[in-house]
A and B are shown apart, each in its own frame.
Chain A
Amino acid sequence: MHSKTYRLKEFIGSKDNRSLIVDASAGLSLGPLPGLEQFAPAVQPVLPLVDGLITSPGQAGKLSGRTRQDAALLVRADWTNALRGPDFVLPPETVSHIPLLNPTDALDLGASALVIYFLLGFEEVIEAGCLHNTVQLSLKGTQVGMPLIVDVQSIGPRVVLHDKAIELGVSYALEGGADGVAVPWSNRESFQNILAMASGVPVWIKPTSLDESSTQLGDALQMGGTGLWLDQYLFTAEDIPAVLSGFGEQIHQQEPSE
């Protein structure tokens, strides 16, 4: 088996090709977030309930002692201030996007995949940089067997057609060599287009809210999606283990796609 595939299988179920991922890396850009003030104690209960956990490079070291039943480590390989809103303590005047890690660094951290943002709707150079990063990290990842997952973020002020912008981001990510993509949920038709483009490459959906997650996940799984990609808002939920158990059951026990 190709070593990229080997690592992908560490966080995608080998029987159903599905998975539940939690992105807990936002502190890298947004600081201490509600529920994640103490990182290790916050994520420890999550580990046995999900297939993959995304952390920043620095927090990755706090996940030692994981068992085979625990989540695989995915490491965030870039930084951006684009996620900061106008109310943030340091609102961005100009959007920046900086690569932090290469695939060899991720290997050293024991990661099963690299995760980067693909930012759409900002200055042209930001998009060009995302494309460049995707291609380079994919090619270098191939040499060392490190998969690249692209987290499509169509959040810039220039986005006119939200669903088409997501599709564009997926197209660029795939053409650049992504081994998986995480996309904001927009609608069934758009997701169908994305799956057609992906042609077997794993696609996770990022729900519009925790409340809508189950419905959107149901649609995505039925159409052939890989699973769910939850962000830091998960950690504001009252009963996180119950929420994750519910999603885990839905993902790994729902009937195969149509």
Chain B
Amino acid sequence: MNAGLQTRMDRLFNRHGDGRAVCVAADHGYMSDVTPNVVNLRPVTEAVIRGGVDGILLSPGQAVRLASYFQGRDGPALILRADWMNMPRLGTSNVANAVPQRLLIHQKVITAQQALDLGASAITIYLFLGYNDQIEATGIEVCARFVSECHRVGLPCIIEPLAYGGQVTGANSVEILTLGARMAVELGADALKIPYTGDVETFRDLVETAEVPVLVLGGARSDYERDALELFAEGLQAGGMGCLMGRNVTKSPDPQGMVAQLCGIAHQGRSVDQALRTEAWDYLRLKAHPAKCTGCQLCVIACVASHDEGDYSPTLSRLRIDPGRKQGQHRVMYCTLCKKCLDVCPTDALRWHAQSGAVELLVDDCTACDECVKICPTQVIVHSDTGIQIATGETLDWYPVVCDLCAGEPECTIICPTGAIFIAERKELA
């Protein structure tokens, strides 16, 4: 594979080393009537980036306007919408209907080189099946030309097969989508963006037919977040490599939370239930029953194992057991969220994260002054065992390791066999 193509595929699919990508489609203002979710993209963009999104799909104009959000190694990958169509404004699905459309139009708008110049890590294009023969043929031509251009400049081409039109029925839609997936791959697609077929089995068939990474799209916004998350989880179960979800995220009252939940499922192996539980972890707080602690240290091991790779060192644990002589005398030392570390930090490198409810370290602002370590009353802020290079280029010999509450599912509480450390009432802090 072309080195540039591989690099950009990695930027999109391999930010977490798992080959998966949670992406958000925010290109609706380019094709549909004006809807509230696309009126001002800046807040949505900022929110989904805070949620940990891996890639964002934008129109060319917004890509220029929002370019600053994609900068840096930690920035999401820019996926560019390279074609245009008026499908959302056709038929009865068009709510606003300001300027009714009669015919489906699908056209190429920019070249792969232009997308590359805008900093794109990939482009997406539609492939319509089921409308009429001419649209299908146009789609094939457009896709073939894009694939050729993309591969010449080392840009991944994501084709989006859609079953739409009078030839599509409930009975044949899965077959048409599978056909579209295979046709797209035969044309040279590097990845697919495709609707979920409705069940794991048929979607697995589609994924196996494709043999390239498949991103499931969300479609119209579900009434319940659980529905969208379950769709996504099933897509992954069937072999999909992520999602390119639009309205389920951008129309969500909490786009950041929604992306965080999708990331939890894709990158942390969470179940839908676990992901949904993180909704409430604004209020998460740990508590302990010292009388139940046997001093087994499983919590310490689980803490280190869930955070650190390589040689596990108990000194890196975010909690500690001060042993007594017998059960009932052991003391469980953990982050009580007293926030004293926040008060003494001279550079505000530590903050309390309102959504996660945990203390968060902004390592680029840290000077390794040791004040937080000294002030911690339970002595659970520890030195990292490796240094780190921060944004200024300076290298810190160590940085403070703080309890992050394991993204809402603290491993110590899960593993403790006696329930000596546990999650207190989640709304206690409200």
Q: Which residues of A contact B (CB under 8 A)?
A: 120-121, 124-125, 127-128, 131-132, 134-136, 138-139, 142, 154, 156, 158-161, 164-165, 167-168, 171-178, 193, 196-197, 199, 201
Q: Which of B27, B29, B114, B117 lies in contact with A174, CB distance below 8 A?
A: B29
Q: Is the CB of B109 within 8 A of A131?
A: yes
With A124-B103, A128-B84: A175-B98 Cβ-Cβ less than 8 Å: no
Residues of B within 8 A of A154 (CB): 99
Whether the pair B105, A171 counts as a contact (CB closer than 8 A) is: no
Chain B facing A: main interface SS: loop
* Closest B residue by C-beta to A121: B99
Residue in B29, B105, B114, B117 whose beta carbon sits within 8 Å of that of A128 in the complex: B105
- Residues from chain A with a CB closer than 8 A to the CB of B41 are 199
Is B97 positioned at the interface, with any CB of A under 8 Å from its CB?
yes
CA distance A138 to B98 in the complex (A): 25
Are A139 and B38 CB-contacts (below 8 A) given A132-B109, A154-B99, A197-B29? Answer: no
Minimum CB–CB distance for A167 against chain B, Å: 5
Verify B27–A175 contact, CB threshold 8 A: yes
A-B contact pairs, 9 of them (CB 8 A): A124-B102, A134-B61, A136-B109, A139-B114, A158-B100, A159-B99, A160-B97, A168-B33, A199-B40
Report B87-105 residues with CB < 8 Å from chain A CB: 96-103, 105
Residue numbers in A under 8 Å from B101 (CB-CB): 124
Residues of B within 8 A of A127 (CB): 86, 99, 105
Cβ contact within 8 Å between A164 and B40 = no
Contact A136 B110 (CB under 8 A): yes
Interface size class of B (residues with CB under 8 A): 20 to 34
In the complex, A125 Cα to B103 Cα: how many Å? 9
Report A257 CB to chain B, min CB distance, Å: 17
Which of A120, A125, A138, A173 is close to B64, meaning CB atoms less than 8 Å apart?
A138
0 or 1 for each of B47-77: is its CB under 8 Å from A? (1 = yes): 0000000000001111011000000000000
Contact B39 A142 (CB under 8 A): no
B89's nearest neighbour on chain A, judged by CB, is A168
Q: How far is the CA of A48 from the CA of B79 in the complex (A)?
A: 45
Q: Does B354 contact A (CB under 8 A)?
A: no
Q: Chain A residue with minimal CB distance to B97?
A: A160
Q: If A128-B105, A160-B99, A161-B97 touch, does A175 touch B86 (CB 8 Å cutoff)?
A: no
B residues less than 8 Å from A134 (CB atoms): 61
Is B42's CB within 8 Å of the partner chain A? yes
**Contact partners of A174 in chain B: CB under 8 A:** 29, 61-62, 65
- Of A160, A177, A197, which contacts B40 at CB under 8 A? A197
Task: Pick the most buried of A128, A156, A196: most chain B CB atoms within 10 A of its CB.
Answer: A128
Residues of chain A contacted by B40 (CB below 8 angstroms): 196-197, 199
Pair A168/B64 contact, Cβ less than 8 Å: no
Query: Which of A120, A159, A176 has a CB less than 8 Å from the CB of B60?
Result: A176
Residue contact A124 to B61, C-beta cutoff 8 Å: no
